[in-house]
Copies of this chain bind each other. A is one copy, B any other.
Amino acid sequence: MIEAPFLLYLGHSTDPVGIKTSRGLAEFRRQDCVGEFRHDDCPLTLDLPRMSMTEGAAAGAKTLVLGIANPGGTMDPELIEDASDALRAGMHVVSGLHERLRDVPELVAMASALGLQLIDVRDPPADLPVGTGRPRAGRRVLTVGTDCSVGKMYAALALTEGLRARGEAADFRATGQTGILVAGGGVPLDAVVADFISGAIELLTPAREDEGWDVIEGQGSLFHPSFAGVSTGLLHGAQAEALVLCHDPARLQMRGLPERRLPGLAECLAANLQVARLTSPGVRAAGACLNTSSFAEDEARALCAKTAHLLGLPCTDPHRFGVEAIIDNLLCPERSAPATIASR
């Protein structure tokens, strides 16, 4: 549906978390990314060649990915101007923002005139069902978090790869715009109408009889007052047998809410298990994933060890240390040594 290769948009972003969609593609589909577009005031980079729109198109990019996020997901005039430039250079434009490309008449007219596509990955499927919470076959694991943007997608992708490496059938189930772009499909959960949150997840992860796994990307946090409704419906729809808790130890305040501290990890895990039990009475915690990118390696190992001890669960940074200990626990909980840290 979305034509590769991509030119990744960073725009004027100054917040590393705000470019997570572009970063996700750079990380998980790097072979499909020819370069990055950023303005002079953008101090961030994905270590891809910096290109103008015309340079990107000349280098073979078929699609500009507006891979930035901002609270509310608005599309400001500068973003629209940049999207226009991408169209003029001959690229399709794909966006994961709440405000839709198709609602900007000048872009619609230009894309139509040039025979190019505007793709809003945040458009949810039509005719979503209401969730039922009825038991269904299949093994499902869901990543949950202390906050937004703490590595839930990354952990889910790493767990999917880890399960496959063990010979298990496993599918990553995307619930956000970045994951959808990486996976090529999914449900943009935060754009679903409130009555259908859990139903959308039941649709995304239907019963499966092949003994394989659905690894479901979590969203938001039960402790984030903006988005906990989404997280709650996701927990109920997922009907997961196991949760993996994701956390960024460098994060001191909830994303977008500087006055609000993060919850404790044990408290957060307990609350998630409590909510999950409504549709999955036997749900258990399988491990924790930390994003330790702000820490030196010895500090990162110490943080994982401390968290493993605190929670009595395997804890790792999936990027640095892999997810083997969590996979062990998922596949064979009784044989897993709770406090082991994975290492490559």
Chain A residues with CB under 8 Å of chain B are 71-73, 98, 129-134, 189-195, 197-199, 222-223, 225-234, 236-237, 256-257, 259-260, 271, 274-275, 278-279
Contact A229 B229, CB 8 Å, known A190-B193, A191-B195, A193-B193? yes
- Cβ–Cβ < 8 Å partners of A71 in chain B: 130
Contact of A134 among B73, B259, B271 (CB under 8 A): B259
User: Given A193-B193, A199-B226, A232-B232, list of 19 further CB < 8 A pairs?
Assistant: A72-B129, A72-B130, A98-B195, A130-B226, A130-B256, A131-B225, A132-B256, A133-B226, A133-B257, A191-B195, A194-B197, A194-B229, A195-B227, A198-B225, A198-B228, A198-B229, A229-B229, A229-B232, A230-B233
Q: Nearest-CB distance from A64 to chain B (Å)?
A: 24
- Residue in B closest to A236 when the chains form the complex, CB atoms: B225
- What's the Cα separation between A199 and B194 when bound, in Å? 12
A229 touching B225, Cβ below 8 Å = no
Most buried by B among A71, A130, A190, A199: A130
A195 touching B236, Cβ below 8 Å = no
A189 touching B198, Cβ below 8 Å = no
Q: Nearest-CB distance from A297 to chain B (Å)?
A: 35
Q: Nearest-CB distance from A152 to chain B (Å)?
A: 16
Contact of A226 among B132, B225, B274 (CB under 8 A): B132
Q: Nearest-CB distance from A230 to chain B (Å)?
A: 5
A236 touching B230, Cβ below 8 Å = no
Q: Nearest-CB distance from A207 to chain B (Å)?
A: 16
- Residue in B closest to A194 when the chains form the complex, CB atoms: B230
- What's the Cα separation between A233 and B226 when bound, in Å? 8
- Residue in B closest to A260 when the chains form the complex, CB atoms: B133
Count of this chain's copies in the oligomeric assembly: 2
- Cβ–Cβ < 8 Å partners of A230 in chain B: 194-195, 197, 229, 233
- What's the Cα separation between A220 and B190 when bound, in Å? 19
- Cβ–Cβ < 8 Å partners of A222 in chain B: 232
B198 touching A194, Cβ below 8 Å = no
- Cβ–Cβ < 8 Å partners of A259 in chain B: 134
- Cβ–Cβ < 8 Å partners of A226 in chain B: 130-133, 195, 198-199
Q: Nearest-CB distance from A279 to chain B (Å)?
A: 5
- What's the Cα separation between A317 and B264 when bound, in Å? 40
- Cβ–Cβ < 8 Å partners of A279 in chain B: 225
- What's the Cα separation between A134 and B189 when bound, in Å? 24
- Residue in B closest to A190 when the chains form the complex, CB atoms: B195
- Residue in B closest to A254 when the chains form the complex, CB atoms: B133
- What's the Cα separation between A134 and B226 when bound, in Å? 10
Q: Nearest-CB distance from A191 to chain B (Å)?
A: 6
- Cβ–Cβ < 8 Å partners of A223 in chain B: 278
- What's the Cα separation between A256 and B274 when bound, in Å? 23
- Cβ–Cβ < 8 Å partners of A195 in chain B: 73, 98, 190-191, 226-227, 230
Q: Nearest-CB distance from A259 to chain B (Å)?
A: 7
- Residue in B closest to A191 when the chains form the complex, CB atoms: B193
A-B contact pairs, 26 of them (CB 8 A): A72-B129, A73-B195, A130-B226, A130-B227, A130-B256, A132-B225, A132-B256, A133-B257, A190-B193, A190-B195, A191-B193, A191-B194, A192-B194, A193-B194, A195-B230, A198-B229, A225-B236, A225-B278, A228-B232, A228-B233, A228-B236, A228-B278, A229-B229, A229-B231, A229-B233, A232-B232
